[in-house]
Amino acid sequence: MEFDFECWRCWANNTIYGEPTHGFWRDRYKLPADWNCWNCGAVNTTPDD
């Protein structure tokens, strides 16, 4: 599944792919802990909810 995040620096929309994982209680998606903005190259941390 793909998730959209906004870069903290330039607000460009970044699409991050999350690998499906099967948790004990419910299915979750494993996202990278951080990623580089395609637009400005800033390192963004994936929000954890």
Per CB under 5 A, residues contacting Zn ion are 7, 9-10, 12, 37, 39-40, 42
In the bound complex, what is the minimum distance in angstroms from residue 22's beta carbon to Zn ion? 32
Nearer to Zn ion, 2 or 27 (CB): 2
Rounded distance, CA 22 to CA 42, Å?
A: 31
Could you tell me the smallest distance in angstroms from the CB atom of residue 1 to Zn ion?
22
Query: 14 is written with which tokens?
Result: 């970044």
Nearer to Zn ion, 4 or 27 (CB): 4
| C-alpha span between 37 and 39 (Å, rounded) | 5
Q: Can you tell me which residue has the tokens 């400005």?
A: 40
